[in-house]
Amino acid sequence: MSAYMGKLLYVDLTSETIKDISLDPQLVENYVGGKGFGAKILYDLLPAKCDPLSPQNILMFMPGPLTGTLAPAMRGCVVTKSPLTGTFADSYFGGHFAQEIRFCGYDGIIVTGAAPEPSYLWVDDGKVEIRSAAGIWGLDTFSTVEKIRAELGDESVKTACIGPAGEKMVSFALINCEYNRHAGRAGTGAVMGSKNLKALVLRGSKAVTPADPDAFEKAVDQAYLEVAEDETAAGFNTFGTPASIDFANDEQLLPTNNYFDGSFEGADGLNAEAQSEQFWLRNVACAGCPIACGKVGMIKKGRRKGLITDVVEYETAAMIGSNLGISDVREVAYLVKKCDALGLDGMSAGGVAGFAIEAYREGIITKDDTGGQELNFGDSASVEYLLDKIAAREGLGNLLARGVKYASEEMGKGSDAYAVHVKGLESPAWGPRSVPGMALALATADRGGCHQRAFPILYEVGGEWNGEAVDRDALKGKGEIVAHLQNYLAALDTLVKCDFAAYSIKDSTYCQMLEAATGNQWNVDKLMQLGERIWNQVKLFNLREGFSRSDDTLPKRFTEEPLPAGPQEGKKITLQDLDQLLDEYYQVRGWDSSGEPSPEKLKELGLDNMPALVQVPAQ
Ligand code: SF4
């Protein structure tokens, strides 16, 4: 007995093949779950250089071995090849959907092919059907969930669905996993749309049983204790992620007017205090989470009065607020909810809108392109116009729907100066010009510019790492910090943990929970090696897709334009700085100077002759 359900659900929408795949013990031992399963299966099953929007692409919904147990704050991830970047993509979601996969009796769902007509997948406790989505195609995400629940006569079914943006394959479309939890980044919703798959709907009743229930209960108690005693967790509960607005603003990390600046004079209008005053009512939590960082609210005053909304997370408060010069959080809440309803990733949407507004200001986009609509920073009507056009892929919106990299390449005229992305993924809301470690983390993140693969800012600004002093401005030493964080988070993304809980729960406690749940022995060294194996497995995928050292880079905004004012004035990360950072980082990783893992490193990680561990089932 162990916390594994022992099988994956495989669905080919083209041939309507529905099969169970037994878990290979080697997959469990070497890749554990979540990101690990996704990385290995994508590498094994996807033909090299396959079009991400072709039926061949694979869309996976992966919980971890602790998801659906009593372990706190466990979630799920979607893994696929990104239509936005062409890289490996993993996108994480909270809520209750990932738990339901396990309650249906699966350790993951693999979807491939494309349905001839709009469809949804109905998994009722292990009984699987492909159903017509004719009645829900075209609906926004919220209406989709309501209608599915009404049709099935069950308010408790768990859903993952796309909105109009996903149906039209906008490259940064998201997958909505209930009210406001999303697999947001890297265009997972576009892949789902390309498969004519509107939703997955689950209802399960199976139990997830740890191998050693007594030891598991003890380890879970310890994890809860660590959360209860930790100030960071208390801060997430009280202030949510918007607490980071003040920190980022003070440290000049807050994207402002398409990252032109690192601090925003209207930051007070976006922070936790402003949100609390304007609309927060009570806390909400994902399944089994004691932190409960979500907030249900309703806007109390002004033209958005009565709008029901959740917390505006730091990333969207920054990308749709400060990055677009908007300081009224009620307007930001309205625009973020619009993104959620249309099924657009709010982070990328903020980056794309910032790009478009700046290109308009510089005369590269004109009123001829916008049908007379002005595009200005600080104007929510400009942003609303862009969101509608992008989701519908109309006019200028059709170009912007491919993201800033593609749009700037098509537009030319120097517009790449305003395209803030890494490998095609619009940058997250952490401007890295005064934090070289964060710059390196963004340049080397496996799915393009991402702050969730490593977040060295805490140590660069905090001035300490593992008991050693850290110089914020130094280049030297940052490679080791970034590689360590990437390995650790890749390991925890196999579980699949919530990032916010990982600040509180110790690595050894995660190991105790994993060991008691699975019956396999775990310690911190083994966990770190697992993370390194997965990081290298993903690297092998990205190398096979044609990515190289030249792609581990940063946009011109960060390499050529210094911060214009404030305590960090004049700072930027030049391409020479980046070269130095990469040289050290590749060396720490055991990769050659072109960024390829050495044969010795692959052997050390068991990747030199790892066989395919999942086979396509016979039809
Ligand atoms: S900390 Fe917040 S996002 Fe993370 S699992 Fe808990 S409620 Fe969900």
At 618, is the pLDDT very low, low, confident or very high (cuts 50, 70, 90)? Answer: confident
Do 378 and 485 belong together in one domain?
A: no
Distance between first and last Cα of the chain: 30
Tell me the CA–centroid distance for residue 8 and ligand 1, in Å: 26
93 closest CA partner among 29, 184, 172, 157: 184
The number of residues making up the chain comes to: 619
**For 472-497, what is the mean pLDDT?**
97
Q: What is the CATH number of the domain that holds 86?
A: 3.60.9.10
Q: Is the pLDDT of residue 1 over 70?
A: no
Answer whether residue 172 is part of any domain. yes
Which atom of ligand 1 is least distant from the CA of 289? Answer: 6
Do 195 and 304 belong together in one domain?
A: no
pLDDT, tens digit (0-9, with 9 covering 90-100), for 52-69: 999 999 999 999 999 999
Do 444 and 591 belong together in one domain?
A: yes
Asked if residue 386 has its Cβ within 6 Å of ligand 1, the reply is no
Q: Which CA distances in Å does 201 have to 123, 179, 295, 345, 566?
A: 6, 14, 25, 21, 50
Q: Is the pLDDT of residue 467 over 90?
A: yes
Mean per-residue pLDDT of the chain: 97
Answer whether residue 359 is part of any domain. yes
Domain carrying residue 281: 249-426
Do 446 and 562 belong together in one domain?
A: yes
Do 380 and 317 belong together in one domain?
A: yes
Q: To the nearest whole percent, how much of the chain has pLDDT over 90?
A: 98
236 closest CA partner among 166, 313, 180: 313
* Gap between the Cα atoms of 343 and 397, Å rounded: 15
- pTM equals 0.98
pLDDT, tens digit (0-9, with 9 covering 90-100), for 84-103: 999 999 999 999 999 999 99
552 closest CA partner among 471, 420, 449: 449
Which atom of ligand 1 is least distant from the CA of 74? Answer: 5
Per DSSP, what are the bridge partners of residue 158? 202
Q: To the nearest whole percent, how much of the chain has pLDDT over 70?
A: 100
Asked if residue 74 has its Cβ within 6 Å of ligand 1, the reply is no
Q: Which CA distances in Å does 415 have to 219, 222, 367, 448, 572?
A: 53, 52, 17, 20, 20
Do 454 and 500 belong together in one domain?
A: yes
Domain stops at, among 426, 457, 487: 426
Which atom of ligand 1 is least distant from the CA of 236? Answer: 1
Q: Is the pLDDT of residue 196 over 80?
A: yes
Do 309 and 345 belong together in one domain?
A: yes
Ligand 1 atom 2, closest CA = 293
Tell me the CA–centroid distance for residue 288 and ligand 1, in Å: 9
Do 334 and 469 belong together in one domain?
A: no
Which atom of ligand 1 is least distant from the CA of 287? Answer: 5
Three-state DSSP at 397 gives: helix
Tell me the CA–centroid distance for residue 616 and ligand 1, in Å: 35
Tell me the CA–centroid distance for residue 543 and ligand 1, in Å: 33
Answer whether residue 213 is part of any domain. no
Q: Is the pLDDT of residue 179 over 90?
A: no
Q: What is the CATH number of the domain that holds 587?
A: 1.10.599.10
* Gap between the Cα atoms of 469 and 395, Å rounded: 52
Residue 17 is inside which H or E element, if any? strand 17-22
Do 177 and 277 belong together in one domain?
A: no
Do 280 and 393 belong together in one domain?
A: yes
174 closest CA partner among 157, 158, 201, 192: 192
Q: What is the CATH number of the domain that holds 295?
A: 1.10.569.10
Three-state DSSP at 88 gives: strand
3-state secondary structure string, 266-327? CHHHCCHHHHHHHCEEEEECCCCCCCCCEEEEECCCCCCCCCEEECCCHHHHHHHHHHHCCC
Q: How many domains does the chain have?
A: 3
**For 440-453, what is the mean pLDDT?**
97
At 519, is the pLDDT very low, low, confident or very high (cuts 50, 70, 90)? Answer: very high
Answer whether 187's CB lies under 8 Å from 195's CB.
Answer: no
Do 416 and 446 belong together in one domain?
A: no
Q: What sign for the dihedral angle of Cα 395, 322, 307, 148?
A: positive
54 CB-near residues (< 8 Å, 6+ apart): 194
The rounded Cα 402 to chain-centroid distance in angstroms is: 18
Q: Is the pLDDT of residue 7 over 80?
A: yes
Domain stops at, among 187, 203, 219: 203
Question: Pairing relation of β-strands 7-12 and 109-112?
Answer: parallel
At 27, is the pLDDT very low, low, confident or very high (cuts 50, 70, 90)? Answer: very high
Q: Is the pLDDT of residue 433 over 90?
A: yes
**For 544-551, what is the mean pLDDT?**
98
pLDDT, tens digit (0-9, with 9 covering 90-100), for 109-158: 999 999 999 999 999 998 999 999 999 999 999 999 999 999 999 999 99
- Helix count and strand count (H, E) for the chain: 26, 19
Three-state DSSP at 353 gives: helix
At 399, is the pLDDT very low, low, confident or very high (cuts 50, 70, 90)? Answer: very high
pLDDT, tens digit (0-9, with 9 covering 90-100), for 144-166: 999 999 999 999 999 999 999 99
Answer whether residue 613 is part of any domain. no
Structure-token match 């290979």, residue found: 24
Asked if residue 71 has its Cβ within 6 Å of ligand 1, the reply is no
pLDDT, tens digit (0-9, with 9 covering 90-100), for 350-362: 999 999 999 999 9
Do 38 and 104 belong together in one domain?
A: yes
Ligand 1 atom 4, closest CA = 498
pLDDT at 180: 80
3-state secondary structure string, 38-72? HHHHHHHHCCCCCCCCCCCCCEEEEECCCCCCCCC
Domain stops at, among 391, 426, 461: 426
pLDDT, tens digit (0-9, with 9 covering 90-100), for 290-322: 999 999 999 999 999 999 999 999 999 999 999
